[in-house]
Amino acid sequence: MAQAEFSEIPTQSKMRKKIGEGGFGKVYLYCDPNTSLLFAIKHIKLVQTKAELSQFTDKLRNEIQILSSIKHERIVQYYGCEESKEEVLIFLEYMPGGSLYDHMHDFGPFNEAVTRTITRQILQGLAFLHESNIIHRDIKAANILRDTVGNVKVTDFGVSKQLTSITEAGPHTTVGSFHWLAPEIITSDNYGKNADLWSLGCTVVELLTTKPPFADIEPIQVILKIASCKHPEYTLPKVTSENLREFLNITFKKDWNARTSALKLLEHPFVEVCKTLEEIERKDREINKLKEQKVCKASDEIVRKDREIIILKEEKEILLRALARYRSRLNDGKGQKTKFA
């Protein structure tokens, strides 16, 4: 589905239905009658008693203006915002597949193969945000949205600090996310981008089991557990590979510097195999494109296109053999982990 592009925020849009709800407000699906494009608007009720309200809404507006200039295939697009005395409206890209949390609620946990692909795509989004000096602060399945073919994008990033200050939920807006918090966020004001990697580890556990670590502990008590534990408590499926377990061990290191980085984790064996699959898909797209171009070409051009197709097919076959060897090693070693430096 093509992403909506607006030269300015639609002013005569029509609401269709509610598509989501969270700590900061409700999300509705809208349609721009001038273009028929679909988009989402998050309605956020404001605290009307705070003297600092205009200051915080100004910060929110400025931050969303910056975020609206950020474009990446793994990031839900911000379009802008409007505010009144009662609420702030944030205009967002519409993702028809809903959240990963919704998907699990309807269909149960994801298997490791799908979790691997999702994790790689989240890491791609986080690597881009971190390079842009943006910390998400609230990575969890509910904040990862799907398109119609299973690809995912990260949403609800960058503005949570301002929203906490101006919404009716006030300082309690993070209650629903306590189970995903990194220990350094709890114990210190000095935390960095790698806090998102701890939350990513919690999200991977959530995808495989439908629950984050410490799921059976009340939110207030879980803060003490996270701050004091050497490693989070969770139970993974018995068939979980060693590569996945080692990936989680990295994300759950108490020393946040030891979690490396989102960019570095893209090279971890647990997710790196997806790079081969992505390359195979790219080769297929190139082959199909060349086949389409042949239809309108002269005979000598057709011969050249045929040669290009043969080369692409040979390259694809090499990638398939490499993928088969990787899977064979996993099967022979019963999921034995591959070294990650």
pLDDT bracket for residue 13 (50, 70, 90): low
**Residue 19 pLDDT class (50, 70, 90 cuts):** confident
Q: What is the mean pLDDT of residues 277-289?
A: 69
Q: Which residues contact 282 (CB under 8 A, 6 or more apart)?
A: none
Write the DSSP assignment of 200-243 as a string of letters.
HHHHHHHHHHSS-TTTTS-HHHHHHHHHH-SS------TT--HH
**Mean pLDDT of the 17-23 span:** 79
Per-residue pLDDT for 109 more than 70?
Answer: yes
- pTM for the full model? 0.77
Residue 12 tokens read as 């005569």
pLDDT digits (tens, 9 = 90+) for 176-205: 389 999 999 888 767 889 999 999 999 999
pLDDT of 88 reads: 82
Quick check: 297 pLDDT over 90?
A: no
Q: How confident is the model at residue 337 (pLDDT cuts 50, 70, 90)?
A: low
Mean pLDDT is lowest, of 19-23, 75-79, 233-237, 276-280, for: 276-280
Comparing 217 with 167, the larger pLDDT belongs to 217
Of residues 70 and 47, the one with the higher pLDDT is 70
Q: Is the pLDDT of residue 32 over 60?
A: yes
Query: What does pLDDT average to over the chain?
Result: 81
Binding residues: 42
Point out the catalytic residue in the list 102, 106, 138, 196: 138
Give the whole-number percent of the chain exceeding pLDDT 90: 42
The yes-or-no answer to whether 13-93 and 98-161+175-266 have a common fold is no
- The residues, any chain, with a CB within 8 Å of residue 222's CB and separated by 6 or more, are 178, 179, 214
- Binding site, annotated residues for ATP: 42
Which superfamily does CATH assign the domain made up of 13-93 to? Phosphorylase Kinase; domain 1 (3.30.200.20)
How far lies 22's CA from each of 167, 169, 184, in Å?
Answer: 12, 10, 24
Is 138 a known active-site residue? yes
Looking at 3.40.50.300, 3.40.50.720, 1.10.287.470, 1.10.510.10, the CATH number of the domain 98-161+175-266 comes to 1.10.510.10
List the chain domain ranges: 13-93, 98-161+175-266, 275-326
pLDDT at 208: 98
